[in-house]
Amino acid sequence: MKKITLTPGKFKGLKRLSDDTGRFRMLAIDQRGSLRRMLGKATNRKPEEITYEELATAKRLVIEYLSPYFSATLTDPQYGLPEGIKFLDRDAGLLLAAERSGTNPAGKDGKEKTTELLKGWSVEKIKRAGADAVKLLLYYRPDGSPEVKEFQENIVRKVGEEAKRLDLPFVLEPMSYPFKEDEPEKDSPEFAKKKPEIVLKTVEEFSKEEYGVDILKLEFPVDLKYVEDFSFGAFDKKEREAVFTMDDAYDFCEEISNRSRVPWVILSAGVDIEEFLINVEIASESGASGFLAGRAVWKEFTKFFPDESKMSLWLKTSGVENYFRLVEASDKALPYFEHPLFESYANIEIENGGENWYVEYEDFKGEKGEGKKEKEEY
């Protein structure tokens, strides 16, 4: 019989992130820059004119109306948590973002990107605040320059070590981006062709145990806008070159499942709900364990900004409808405990379980207790 050991913090966190079926049906409302742009667009204002209160209110509306449905909610500590925690559903798992919004230019010509952890914030604070997981968004190109890769990999390693020290699940979200001569933009046939390989190589890298990742939050490897079934402009009325087939989409998702040491979920990266539903369905049929969905779920509600009552009504109706459609699209998703890492919930054991567990279990300094046999009274 296979036996897999987990520490209680990671184990309990995984349970809180997933729903009763073991599938991750998670909501992301940790957007900062992109949400600011959307609220600006809705009111003909510059992004920087959107106030703290306006951003915080938009986030707490999403948390209030949608967190009761999703298995867990990801938010940020700047705008999301302070207002949102009051509105977070009692049963919702909570993920908090570790990085600051945006990136720094890097590489020889400054076209590559590096991640920065949010200053004044830490994985330790995420644990202390009672979150069920830490999430790190990481811009990454496996074919990038060695020094940028090393820099980014070191951040992952550092967060992974902290998450282990704190016994907290670690959700890593690697994000590709174009930067090479032959990559004009993300929405281009050139980049679309490279994306599957970028995603697969990234999965391979961060599947190494040394990074301590517990869940990978991944981009859909094939841009459906470049798949023959949809390239006529199915999603946005813009015609594009067909560079892949639907079979390719399934194959690459299955290949992710083959290479990922840990359960993985699909992210929505700003696509519309109709496209995301297809992403979720294909990924779920190919071994993904669910989704962590952001803008695809709620972006339409920003059009009603700043009318809070209409924003709420949109979330309560169309937002909730999007949740139910996503649940259906993910009904074949692999429960995390059926991932090859575990095979079955029944295989999971607590690490160093048994009579001496509480002594062997380390504190935050990595120290065990005295091994003394405790006296007991009857």
Element (H or E) spanning 240, and its range? none
Phi, psi of 23 (to 5 degrees): -100, 145
The residues in 115-154 that bind a second copy, with binding defined as CB under 8 A, are 118-122, 124-125, 127-130, 132
Is residue 107 near a second copy by the rule CB under 8 A? no
Q: Is 59 one of the binding residues for a second copy (CB under 8 A)?
A: no
User: In which region does residue 125 sit, left (phi positive, over 0), alpha (psi from -120 to 50) or beta (all else)?
Assistant: alpha
Contact yes or no for 336/342 (Cβ under 8 A): yes
Q: Which one of residues 23, 25, 59, 100 is an interface residue with a second copy (CB under 8 A)?
A: 100
Instruction: Extract long-range pairs of 192-197: CB within 8 Å, 24+ residues apart.
Output: 192/222, 192/223, 192/225, 192/226, 192/243, 192/244, 193/226, 193/243, 195/219, 195/221, 195/222, 195/223, 196/221, 196/222, 196/248, 196/252, 196/255
How many of the chain's residues bind a second copy (CB under 8 A)?
Answer: 73
Q: Can residue 160 be called a binding residue for a second copy (CB under 8 A)?
A: no
Select the span of 46-54, 187-195, 270-278, 314-322 touching a second copy (CB under 8 A).
Answer: 46-54
d(CA 172, CA 158): 12
Is 3 an interacting residue with respect to a second copy (CB under 8 A)? no
Whether the CA torsion 39, 90, 288, 77 is positive or negative: it is: positive
Binds a second copy (CB under 8 A): choice among 3, 20, 146, 237: 20
335-354: contacts with a second copy (CB under 8 A): 345, 348-350, 353-354
**Given candidates 9, 107, 189, 340, which one binds a second copy under the rule CB under 8 A?**
9
**209 belongs to the binding site for a second copy (CB under 8 A):** no
Strand partners, 325: none
Site map 162..191 versus a second copy, x via CB under 8 A? ----xxx-----------------------
Judged by CB under 8 A, which of 12, 45, 158, 303 binds a second copy? 12
Applying CB under 8 A, the span of 82-90, 222-230, 243-251, 310-318 interacting with a second copy comes to 82-90
